[in-house]
Each structure stands twice: as C-alpha cells, then as structure tokens.
Amino acid sequence: MGNFIILPDATLFLLNGGGMGTLVTATNRVFTLSGLADSTSNRLYRSSALLLADGAVFGAGSNPHVDYAPDATYPTEYRTEMFYPWYYFERRPEPAGLLSVLSYGGSYFKVTLLNHNMNGDPATYAPRTKPVLIRTGYSMQGLQMGQRYLELNSTYTINLDGIVTLHVSQLPPNANLLTPGPTMIHIVVAGVPSVDKIIMAGSGMIETQTLNTVTPLPPSGVEQNTTSNNNGTGNGGGGGTGNPPSAATLTTNVRAGGFW
C-alpha cells in the first residue's frame, strides 16, 4: 500500500507501504528512486501521509490488525517520518500580494517577486514561474481523499527595476474543479515553491457559488524604457524640449493553467 502526494512542483511522490509486491520498475522513465532515503517503518493499512506548508511530507500510522498489536510481524506503528523533497533546502520565493480569498472567475490580481530573493536573472526564472493551488484533502486507510492540484493561469512582466510582477487569474468559473473551502497557494519558481499561504476558495460554504466573467490577462513581456530626445532649434539656437520617458511592454506568451 502506498500514498501518492502531489508536490508543489507537480511531482507525484509515492511513500509508505511494506516492501512487498511490485508496483513499477525503477528504470521506468517516469519513476525514479534517485535521491530518496529508505523509510524506517512499514506502513500498511491505516497509514497516512500529508503535504505540509513548507513542502515537506509527513508520514505516519499503520495498523493492519483488529486491535493494538505491538509484537506482530507488521506491528501497530506510532513512529512518524518526515521526507524533504529536493527543493526543500533551496532558497524559497517570497511572493507579495497573494489574496486571502479567490473567486470563481473575475479580475486577475498581481503578485510581485523581488529579484534579490531569487538568486537569478528574471528573464530566466520569470517564464518558469507558476501559481499553484493544492488541497491536501484527508489521509486515512492508506488513501488520499479529496486531494487536488490546480495551476492558475498567469502571465508576467519583468519591470525595469528587476522586480517580476505576476498577473494571476482567479479560479476557473467552475466550482466543480475546486470546490469551495480552504486551500494552499504556492508560487513555484523553476520547481522551487514558496511556503504556502492558506486561502479560501469561493465562499467556503457548500452552496451555489457566484461565477464571474474571466478578465483576460495582459501578455507576458519585459518593460522597456523608450526615451525620445527631440531637440528643437530656434532663432539664435537654443535648446527645445525632449519627450518624457515612456514604458512599453514586449509581448511574449501566456501561461495556461492545468488541473489534476
């Protein structure tokens, strides 16, 4: 038995079980054991796993018996484990401007990423940035129930000062994709997630939700300082006035979100 956890970088992390049987070979192109330490406990029926706010994964439980059985081959298990994915010790994004409540459809909002928090060139990491929502659901009996992963549509602007502004759409205008209630939001940059913020999807109540028209996102691009100096001439020479600086945005692409 194993638990699949959807990580913020969209990786599926499989943990727990008892080392019996075969799920898939480690040479499969989409499955790898690279970088993973061995679990210290057999976790069978009534085990659980959960994604935490900082992106670590918590594993606990196991009791494939009618009652408490400390001396069985697979005993009642009270030890817990923590798993730290590859991104855990990387420098984390520190987004500003995240909302506390997201609507179904409606106007997009802006999130800023300061360049000094990113350790890199904005032109490199901005196109690899995405806002994702994760609902961990609940975990019991070796199963994850109600788990969701939703990437919001977004575009970006790289500003003259190096700050990256993300333009982020609200939830899709369909409450069936992510039902109302608490959820975690991460800003993921080149696979490295920010520590999550708990937000509310819709009204948070089991009721008919207001569905709003989606406001189109601006195109992605780089802010350019285009200054024009037109020096005039007059009788006896004399200077004239130049046009004030103006900013233009170069169009690139729009990131489309996804749903798991």
- DSSP designation for 3: E
Using alpha carbons only, how large is the chain's radius of gyration in Å?
25
43: in domain: no
Q: E strand or H helix at 12, and its extent?
A: strand 12-15
Tokens of 177: 């994709």
Contact (CB, 8 A) for 187 and 131: yes
119: in domain: yes
Compute, in degrees rounded to 10, the torsion defined by CA atoms 243, 249, 250, 256. Answer: -170
254: in domain: no
Q: Cβ of 79: how many Cβ atoms within 10 Å?
A: 11
133: in domain: yes
- DSSP designation for 90: S
User: Domain holding 175: CATH number?
Assistant: 2.60.40.10
Task: State how many domains the chain has.
Answer: 1
226: in domain: no
134: in domain: yes
Mean pLDDT for each 10-residue chunk of the chain (260 residues)?
A: 88 78 60 75 82 93 85 86 93 96 98 80 93 90 85 96 96 97 97 96 97 98 73 44 43 50
* pLDDT of amino acid 128: 95
| pLDDT tens for each residue of 238-250 | 444 444 444 444 4
164: in domain: yes
**Percent of the chain residues past pLDDT 90, beyond the cut:** 53
CA 9 to chain centre: 6
- DSSP designation for 225: E
192: in domain: yes
Beta bridge partners of 134: 149, 184
* pLDDT of amino acid 217: 98
Q: What's this model's pTM, rounded to 2 decimal places?
A: 0.81
For residue 160, the enclosing domain spans 101-214
